[in-house]
Amino acid sequence: MTETKPNEMTGTPAAEDALLSIRDLHVEFKTYGGSIRAVRGVDLDVAAGECIAVVGESGCGKSVTAKSILQLLPSHNSEVTGGQIIFDNVDLLQYNDREMQKLRGNKISMIFQDPMTSLNPTMTVGRQIAEVLIKHQHLSREEARKKTIEYLAMVGIANPEKRYKEYPDRLSGGMRQRVMIAIAMCCNPRLLLADEPTTALDVTIQAQILDLMRGLQQQFNTAIILITHDLGVVANMARRVLVFYAGKVVEEGMADDIFYRPRHPYTWGLIKSMPRLNSEKKEDLVSIEGTPPDLFAPPKGCAFAARCDHAIQLCLEKDPPMFNIEGRHCAACWLAMENMPDALRPAWMKAEKVNVEDFD
């Protein structure tokens, strides 16, 4: 810890090589009870061809962030109240509906959590893919059909000619997610938003789908934002990880930083609650105690303080900014600040490489 040079970061400029740069994004939902501040100042960068992971408990604003990139939030009750979403050097928040339509499914596409409900039950799977090709690449029906069959084969669906004509009911969850991937990838997008793409699938299928995505990412050099609440999914996929909590990024770094040198107690909580294959005391596997804060009225201080074992008075009073730890690794925790007395820091925070078993 001594050789690191933590310093407070203020308003990071958009990274030069970033394909997508989200700056200080704020999203609110208007409800009868008041405004829900679902996203509260998120910064996020993705370089071309890079795969990053966004992790966090459910309800922390992951999906809302992703949907706001494509302006897919419900228009009647949600509002982006601040920030920028810069894609290819243009702020998407300035785009109108028409311009967004040209982008969606073409340069940026998205796949969703539940493949069972994400496909139209009254349209053949083939047409659901072909539709995208006709829309964005202006192919004729016949050309689109041929290309769709190629894509069906590419995402690992056997007998694509036959499958083309089938309705989603005939396909298993894993197959349907493959179809969703084909829909998302058929226009060769620069960025894929994958919102919990494997959460609804069983474990063996999960691995296959992740493999498929990794393969396609390399083949097409597509950047991926992989959203998940399961750190286990992240390990083999993402180079970089962002940890979300209560609508904010609380820690960010290369996957190794996050897994082996976490600097935020929330990240540490996530790591501890990961199922471990060699763990003998499976029953001890607890998720983080407590509940996330009320997003109607987020606390004045750190949003995690109420659940944090190491919180000090300062945490309750002032929301910590992002402190740079090393390279791109940074954490929004007062204990990660450079001149914080070492005695306040828990052992795992000081370790060069933590081993979860040592701290149980």
Partner 1 sequence: MPKYILKRCIIAVFTLLVLITIIFFLVRLLPGDPFNDPKVTDEVRARLEAYYGMDKPLIQQYFAYLGNLLKGDFGVSLIYTGRSVNSTIAQTFPYSADLGLRALGLALVVGLILGTLAAQKAGRVIDYVCVLVAIIGVSMPDFIIGALLKLIFAIKLRVLPAGLWNGFSYTILPVVALSFYTLALITRLMRSSMLEVIHQDYILTAKAKGLSNFQVIWRHQIRNSILPIVTVMGPLVAAVLTGTFVIESMYAIPGMGKFYVESVHDLDYTMVLGMTAFYGIFLVSANLVVDILYGIVDPRIKLAESKQKADDGEEG
Please choose, out of 30-38, 152-160, 231-239, 329-337, the segment that lies near ligand ADP by the rule CB under 6 A: 30-38
Find the shortest distance in angstroms from Cβ 111 to partner 1: 8
Q: Which is nearer to ligand ADP, 246 or 255 (CB)?
A: 246
CA–CA dist 20, 122 (Å, integer): 35
Residue 132, interface with partner 1 (CB under 8 A)?
yes
Q: How far is Cα of residue 280 from the mean position of the Cα atoms in its chain?
A: 31
Question: Footprint of ligand ADP on residues 58-77 (CB under 6 A)?
Answer: 58-64, 74, 77
| 99 vs 294 by CB, closer to partner 1 | 99
Residue 123 interacting with partner 1 (CB under 8 A): yes
DSSP conformational letter for 137: H
CB of 78 to ligand ADP, least distance (A): 6
Report d(CA 153, CA 105) in Å as an integer. Answer: 19
User: Is residue 30 a contact residue for partner 1 (CB under 8 A)?
Assistant: no
Among positions 172-231, residues that touch partner 1 (CB under 8 A) are 180, 183
- Minimum distance from residue 237 beta carbon to ligand ADP (Å): 18
The distance of closest approach from Cβ of residue 122 to partner 1 in the complex, given in angstroms and rounded to an integer, is 5
Say how far apart CA 9 and CA 274 lie, in whole Å. 30
Is 105 a binding residue for partner 1 by CB under 8 A? The answer is yes
Instruction: Please name the amino acid found at residue 176.
Output: R
In order, the DSSP letters of 88-128 are TTEEGGG--HHHHHHHBTTTEEEE-S-TTTSS-TTS-HHHH
**Distance from C-alpha of 26 to C-alpha of 10, rounded to nearest angstrom:** 17
Q: Does 337 bind partner 1 (CB under 8 A)?
A: no
Give yes or no for residue 101 binding partner 1 (CB under 8 A).
Answer: yes
Residues 6 or more apart whose Cβ sits within 8 Å of residue 248: 40, 41, 42, 61, 303, 332
Tell me: does residue 70 bind partner 1 (CB under 8 A). yes
Contact between 201 and ligand ADP per CB under 6 A = no
Picked from ligand ADP, partner 1, Mg ion, none, the partner binding residue 15 (CB below 5 to 8 A depending on kind) is none
From 110, 213, 224, 333, residue interacting with partner 1 (rule: CB under 8 A): 110
Instruction: Quickly tell me which residue has 């083949």 as its tokens.
Output: 219
| Among the listed residues 22, 51, 63, 322, the single contact to Mg ion using CB under 5 A | 63
Q: What is the DSSP string of 270-299?
A: HHHTS--TT-S-GGG--PPSS-PPPTTS--
Task: Determine how β-strand 51-55 pairs with β-strand 240-245.
Answer: parallel
Task: Please choose which of partner 1, Mg ion, ligand ADP, none residue 263 contacts, taking the beta carbon within 5 to 8 angstroms, the exact cut-off set by kind.
Answer: none
The answer to whether 24 touches 92, Cβ cutoff 8 Å, is no
Q: How far is the CB of 142 from ligand ADP (least distance, A)?
A: 40
CB of 64 to Mg ion, least distance (A): 8
Footprint of Mg ion on this chain (CB under 5 A)?
63
